[in-house]
Structure 1
Amino acid sequence: MNGLYDEFKIAVHSVWNRRWLALAVAWGLCLLGWLVVALIPNSYESQARISVEMQSILSDKVGVDARERKKNMERVQETLASTINLEKVVRGTALNRSVSTDRELSAKVEMLRKSIKIKSEKDNLFEITANSSASNFSDAENAVLARDIVQKMIDIFVEENLSGDRTETSQTIKFLDAQLAQREKELQEVEQKQAQFETENLGLLPGVGSISQRMEAARAELGQIDSQLSQASASLAALNGQLSGTPASIATPGFGGASDGSARGQLAQAEAQLASARARGWTDGHPDVVAMKAEIAALRKQASKEPAGGGGYRTPNPAYSSLQSMRAERQASVAALQARKNVLQADMAQMASKQSLEPGVAAEMSRINRDHEVLKAQYDKLLTDREQIKLRGQVESETDSVKFRVIDPPSSPRSPAAPNRPLLLAMVLIAGIGGGVGSAFAMGHLQTSYPTADKLEKASGLPVIGSVSQVLTSAQREIKKKKMRFFYGTSGALFGVFGMLMIVEFIQRGMVA
């Protein structure tokens, strides 16, 4: 511990012996540092906070939800520091006085881009900060300029959100109108082409009335006609058989023969009833027809045993006449069915010859329909988008969808934000004193002198008998005192200059305020 204390005393003694060197270095470093600090321009900072409130109910209903509004605000925040907006700031503040060429304007814009900061504190709270340190302006002018820059940025912020949205909406609607007109023209051309193609290839087009469907319908109808023709032919054959077994005329007894209950009169009535029943469509299996046949058979046996009357005569058989009428009707039906069958077979042969053309026509029609559907979908989508954007623009412009409120107006700086000149002046003083002490200490180690007898004994390896202290005369003591007074005065002057610089700094700040 004593060794460390001795070393400390030796170091202090070494510095003290070279105190003039330390003082000179301290003065030089302080003057140089204070000059550098004085050359640093003051930078004045102005801040403002604005709130953006989004409270519209209609905007949510028409698709302008909170996420989209937040996205729009982020977009405005990013584009707020664009070159165009910064040029507006330069033209609208005192910076315009020092701008005469485009190059100078670009330099001012780059300076503003570095000095302006826009920060989003919350979803709807923004902070705008601007620094001004123009060398050609005084401190008071820089303070006013910083406030004017922030105020101009607020004006642009509001303008970009209000008029910018209207301009963008107007341009979008104009673009959509042009696209709608173009799509409408193309849609009309496709519809005309579609109508003309359908007219020219009506029988070959797929869908209702195409060759394939007409062939299927003809085959189905031909099958029905074949079935109906078979039934009609069978019915005609049966009717011909009945007609061959029915006499064309019947014997009629003399006057009163039928009324007196003879077998021939009853037979004639029974045959007439049977003919009437068959005319109504009754078949041979009908119970009444079976009973009539049995009765006719019995009456014929009785009539054969009766003597022929002298006054009888033969009359046309009504049953035979009815069967002839029915046969004519059946023959006409068969002929009509056969004619219809022939027509269908001819049509099917003609359609079969055209069926080879149907695939190409169908493909062309499909292409035309596909183009029409695509254009129609695009037209409907553009029309929906235009109406929605138009409604959104009306909601944003005619309602309070976005409200701007300045929470903290642009501040008027009273003191420079940078540099912290009092701190820098103090740091320069400390660095100067430290540099002076360090230089004196280093000089003491570079010179080959021995501050104590022990140091000399260790360096030489010889025993040291003793040491002689410095002896000063009265004149030397007086000179030494004068030098010490001068040293203390010079040292005090260093601190005095520091104090004077601090006073000047605070006076300048007061002048800005």
Structure 2
Amino acid sequence: MDAIYDEIRVALHAVWRRRWLALAIAWAICLAGWLVVSQIPNQYLSSARVSVQLRNVLPGQDNLMSQADQQRDIDRVRQTLLSAVNLEKVVRGTSLANTVATDRDVADRVAMLQKAIKITAQADANIFELSATIAGGGASDAANARLAREVVQKLIDIFVEANLADTRDENSQSLRFLDEQIAARQRQLQEAEAKKAEFQTRYMGSLPGTGSIEDRAGAARAQLAQVNSDLAAAQSGLAAVNGQMAGTQPSLPGTAGAAMGPARARLATIQGQLAEARGRGWTDSHPDVIALKNQLQIAQAAARGEPMAGGDGGTPNPLYLSLRSMQADRAAQVAALTQRKAQLEADLARLGDTMGAQPGVAAELASIDRDYLVLKDQYDKLLASREQVSIRAQANNQTDAVKITVIDPPTSPRTPAAPNRPLLLFGVLIAGLGGGAAGAWGLSKLQTTYPTVQRLEKASGMPVLGGVGEVVADATHIARRRQLKLFAGGAGALMGAFVLLMGIEFLQRGLVA
């Protein structure tokens, strides 16, 4: 510990003996350092935070797709905000316009802004921070501070305008493109319809049915199968009626020349209705059949008590008359179905002849129909897409689908963001004092003097009997006191220069504020 203390004393003594050299070196380092620090331009930083919110204007899945498109547009605008075109708008819209005279000047200012502006997305992807750092340029610090704020404000204006304008321009371009495509598809669809109509007039006009030949033949076969089924049922019904007529007498047995009274006429009518009901296939449990049987019993009781009136002929059988009416109905139905069957068979024969004689007609018709359906489907899809784009465009024009809110407006810098000039000035002062002390101590190492007896004894290897103190005369005391005052003045002047520079720095900051 004593050795370290001695070393410190020796170093301080060496520096003190060469204090004028140390002071000169300190002055040289401080003047050079302070000059360098004074040449560093102040940088003024202005920043702002912007929030972008996507509003759900249109519900449903289409709105989710629209929201994704809007988010992609926002990212694209954020990335292209620093393009040369937008930065030129910043130059033209701020006080930088006063410093440009040619296109070369504008390009230089744009290059400067590309390095000075930063756009960063914060933790929330919908919040962006815009910052601009302005330094130098030959303008005053107050002008640079104002310019930094102007640049950030102009960037916000461009950001808002770009989002709104790009969305509307994109919708307009989409509508124009869809209108052109719809018009083209409409012309193609009209041509396809004309071609289809001309083909049907030439080849299909005389053929029965509608659609292609295969469709017409299939429809005819289905109708023929139904007609055959109905014809078989009608023929079976006619045969059943013929069988019933074979076993039924045309007239009822009774007194010759007797005439039918009202009760017997009523009985005959009910019997005819009952026969007709059974001819239709109604069973005895049918409600109408049960009612007719009840009426029949009452009519039979009334007819038994009614006397026979005289007449000229026999009594016609009402059941036979009813069966004859049903026979005529069934026969007419069978004849109509037979005629329909013959017509369908003739149509199928004509379709078969057409397909056999011209096999390429069916293939050509299928190709025309297929092309027509494809064009019709594309046309319908384009109409639906145009309607969606039109609704989206109206929503964007009438409402703010993208809401941009300035959370923190552009700040007005009052102090430079860089450099930290007071700290640099103080650092230069410390470096100057340290450099002066180091220079004096280093020079002491180059001289072969021994500040203490112990150093001399250690260096010579011989014992030192003692040391002789320095005897200083009065004149020397006066001279040394004068030199000490001069040294104190030089050191004080160095400190005064430091204080003066610090005062100037804070004065300049006050003027900016």
TM-score by length of 1: 0.67
Change (3 A) 1:218 1:508: closer
Alignment check: 8 A CA contact 1:22 1:433 kept: yes
Comparing 499-508 with 199-208, greater Cα deviation is found at: 199-208
Comparing 96-105 with 438-447, greater Cα deviation is found at: 438-447
CA–CA distance in structure 1, aligned partners of residues 230 and 127 of structure 2 = 86
Deviation at 1:418, TM superposition (A): 2.0
Deviation at 1:340, TM superposition (A): 8.1
Deviation at 1:404, TM superposition (A): 5.3
Deviation at 1:481, TM superposition (A): 2.7
Which residue of the partner structure matches residue 395 of structure 1?
398
Which residue of the partner structure matches residue 97 of structure 1?
98
Deviation at 1:498, TM superposition (A): 0.1
Q: Deviations over 1:163-222 (max 9, x none)?
A: 444344333333332333223223322333333344445369975655863795699699
Where does 1:110-509 land on structure 2 (aligned, <5 Å)? 110-120=111-121, 122=124, 126-202=128-204, 207=212, 209-210=214-215, 213=218, 347=350, 350-351=353-354, 353-354=356-357, 356-357=359-360, 360-361=363-364, 364-365=367-368, 367-369=370-372, 371-396=374-399, 401=401, 406=406, 408-509=408-509
Which residue of the partner structure matches residue 263 of structure 1?
none
Deviation at 1:456, TM superposition (A): 3.8
Q: Deviations over 1:130-164 (max 9, x none)?
A: 33223321122222222322332333333334444
CA–CA distance in structure 1, aligned partners of residues 103 and 19 of structure 2 = 58
Which residue of the partner structure matches residue 253 of structure 1?
none
Q: Deviations over 1:375-412 (max 9, x none)?
A: 3244234323332333323332xxx5555555554443
Which residue of the partner structure matches residue 87 of structure 2?
86
Query: What is the one-letter code of the residue matched to 2:443?
Result: M
Alignment check: 8 A CA contact 1:15 1:437 kept: yes
Change (3 A) 1:444 1:212: farther
Q: Which structure 1 residue ranges, 5 or more long, are not aligned?
A: 235-258, 260-325
Where does 1:2-151 land on structure 2 (aligned, <5 Å)? 2-50=2-50, 58-59=57-58, 63=63, 70-120=71-121, 122=124, 126-151=128-153
Q: Deviations over 1:221-261 (max 9, x none)?
A: 99989999x99xx9xxxxxxxxxxxxxxxxxxxxxxxx9xx
Q: Deviations over 1:458-488 (max 9, x none)?
A: 4444444444444444433333333222222
CA–CA distance in structure 1, aligned partners of residues 232 and 165 of structure 2 = 82
Alignment check: 8 A CA contact 1:143 1:414 kept: yes
3-state SS of the aligned residue for 2:63? coil
CA–CA distance in structure 2, aligned partners of residues 503 and 470 of structure 1 = 45
Deviation at 1:424, TM superposition (A): 1.2
Change (3 A) 1:448 1:207: farther
Identical pairs, percent:
42
Q: Which structure 2 residue ranges, 5 or more long, are not aligned?
A: 240-255, 257-327
Specify the structure having the higher radius of gyration (Cα): 1
Change (3 A) 1:365 1:27: same
Q: How many corresponding residue pairs?
A: 428
Change (3 A) 1:136 1:355: same
Query: What is the one-letter code of the residue matched to 1:512?
Result: V
Alignment check: 8 A CA contact 1:176 1:386 kept: no
CA–CA distance in structure 2, aligned partners of residues 116 and 143 of structure 1 = 14
Change (3 A) 1:451 1:193: farther
Change (3 A) 1:166 1:437: same
Alignment check: 8 A CA contact 2:214 2:362 kept: no
CA–CA distance in structure 2, aligned partners of residues 474 and 86 of structure 1 = 77
Alignment check: 8 A CA contact 2:44 2:416 kept: yes
3-state SS of the aligned residue for 2:192? helix
Alignment check: 8 A CA contact 2:46 2:131 kept: yes
Q: Deviations over 1:272-314 (max 9, x none)?
A: xxxxxxxxxxxxxxxxxxxxxxxxxxxxxxxxxxxxxxxxxxx
Comparing 346-355 with 373-382, greater Cα deviation is found at: 346-355
Query: What is the one-letter code of the residue matched to 2:107?
Result: S
3-state SS of the aligned residue for 1:413? coil
CA–CA distance in structure 2, aligned partners of residues 124 and 511 of structure 1 = 37
Change (3 A) 1:8 1:197: farther
CA–CA distance in structure 2, aligned partners of residues 221 and 357 of structure 1 = 30
Which residue of the partner structure matches residue 273 of structure 2?
none
3-state SS of the aligned residue for 1:81? coil
Query: What is the one-letter code of the residue matched to 1:81?
Result: L
Deviation at 1:489, TM superposition (A): 1.5
Query: What is the one-letter code of the residue matched to 1:385?
Result: Q
Q: Deviations over 1:42-93 (max 9, x none)?
A: 2223344455566x67455783776665555444433333322221221122
3-state SS of the aligned residue for 2:90? helix
Comparing 118-127 with 103-112, greater Cα deviation is found at: 118-127
Which residue of the partner structure matches residue 272 of structure 1?
none
Alignment check: 8 A CA contact 2:457 2:463 kept: yes
Comparing 117-126 with 146-155, greater Cα deviation is found at: 117-126
Comparing 210-219 with 417-426, greater Cα deviation is found at: 210-219
Deviation at 1:426, TM superposition (A): 0.7
CA–CA distance in structure 2, aligned partners of residues 44 and 218 of structure 1 = 92
CA–CA distance in structure 1, aligned partners of residues 230 and 351 of structure 2 = 14
Alignment check: 8 A CA contact 2:189 2:375 kept: yes
Change (3 A) 1:364 1:44: same
3-state SS of the aligned residue for 1:131? strand
Query: What is the one-letter code of the residue matched to 1:440?
Result: A
Alignment check: 8 A CA contact 2:58 2:392 kept: no
CA–CA distance in structure 2, aligned partners of residues 88 and 349 of structure 1 = 77
CA–CA distance in structure 2, aligned partners of residues 345 and 403 of structure 1 = 69
Which residue of the partner structure matches residue 275 of structure 1?
none
Query: What is the one-letter code of the residue matched to 1:437?
Result: A
